[in-house]
Chain A
Amino acid sequence: MDLLQRIEDTAIAENIRSSLWIFPTMETIHVLAIVLVVGSIARLDLRLAGLVARDRAISEVSSEMLPWTWASFTVATIFGLALFVGTPLRYVGTAFFDVKMILILLAGLNMLVFQYVTLKGANRWDRAPTPPMAVRVTGALSLAFWVSVILCGRLIGFV
């Protein structure tokens, strides 16, 4: 907690807190990045679940969407950190913030497992309109994680 106090005492944190426009501007960029993360990953997730673009190869949809996901995730993280720096003590330890961070980790883990384990056998089901159960579950899980991340993010502002 000492570290958080030290962050909160820095000049940068002080500037973020006292400015009328810095926080809203960073928040806007954070939200723009988040909607692009969720919009792009949702399209891939729904394809994995066999619900949209069933006539297109999964690898094609994935190479179309994932660059957006990663680029936007980077931006969302940078601006999320900037939002955090202003009042770190307000966030750490509150339920919705902690749960949000855990959910982002789980979503990332799910993505890594997909990329390095599930995708190994992809040539067998890349063009299948309805992929195998394991793949559909990965898509559904990812969608559930990201929707929950949004809900937690919104609730952080509510309490």
Chain B
Amino acid sequence: MLQEFSDWLSQSSLTALFSDTTLIETWLIIPVSQSLHILGVAIIMISVGMLNLQLLGIGVSRQNFGKLCGQLVPWIWAALALLFITGVVQTIAEPTRELMNITFRTKMVMLAITIAITALYQVQVRKDSKYWENSPEHRNLGRVLASVSLVLWVGILAAGRVIAYFGAIEQL
């Protein structure tokens, strides 16, 4: 199904516009989109880095986790929106390179897991700002989630970079 969608998208006029390097539009759209994408990643990585290290008890902020969550999670959602828009632009430009690539698909799975973890942080903090600190069970769960989230975010960034090199699915 992804194969058909990728093929259909490749034939579209948008792809033609976004991938024709002789056009000035391409020269503006793609590097600008990629740079905005990196800026979004910058916002995300510093935010999830601070949040997760705080949960692991090696935090750099003097604020407690609940307060930090309230400040940083809205930035994470805003950055994800920017990443989604710019990501879609780049996928339209080169559908096969992204959709028909194992590294890209792995990246999307890792992304879904980290989004769920971040949403869980936010939901619990909204109910009780001390949730992740108020019992040993919660603290331990927090440490596990934080470790998973940190590892996956680094994985997402690495996957994003190496889509260009590895993982292309052989076309039949």
List residues of A whose CB falls within 8 A of some B CB: 20, 24, 27-28, 31-32, 34-36, 38-40, 42-43, 53, 60, 64, 67-68, 147, 150-151, 154-155, 158
Contact = CB atoms under 8 A, between A and B. Distances in A.
A67 B49 CA distance: 13
B43 A68 contact: no
A28 B162 contact: yes
Nearest to B37: A154
A155 B34 CA distance: 9
A158 B44 CA distance: 24
B46 A39 contact: yes
B43 A60 contact: no
Nearest to B43: A39
B62 interface: yes
Nearest to A23: B165
7 contacts: A24-B164, A24-B166, A36-B42, A42-B42, A64-B60, A147-B39, A154-B35
Contacts of A35: 38, 41-42, 45-46, 157
A147 B35 contact: yes
B154 interface: yes
Contacts of A31: 38, 41, 157, 161
Interface of B: 30-32, 34-35, 38-39, 41-47, 49, 60-62, 71, 154, 157-158, 161-162, 164-166
Contacts, number: 71
Counting chain B CB atoms within 10 Å of each CB, the highest count among A31, A35, A64, A147 belongs to A35
A24 B161 contact: yes
Nearest to B47: A39
B62 A60 contact: yes
A7 to B, nearest CB: 24
A34 B38 CA distance: 9
B31 A68 contact: no
Given A24-B165, A67-B60, A39 B45 contact: yes
Contacts of B154: 32
A40 B46 contact: yes
A43 B47 CA distance: 10
Nearest to B61: A64
Contacts of B157: 28, 31-32, 35
Contacts of A39: 42-47, 49
Most buried by A among B42, B61, B154, B158: B42
Given A28-B162, A35-B38, A36-B46, A151 B31 contact: yes
Contacts of A154: 31, 34-35, 38
Contacts of B41: 31, 35
Contacts of A64: 60-62
Contacts of B162: 24, 28
A39 B157 CA distance: 14
Contact of B38 (A24, A60, A67, A150): A150
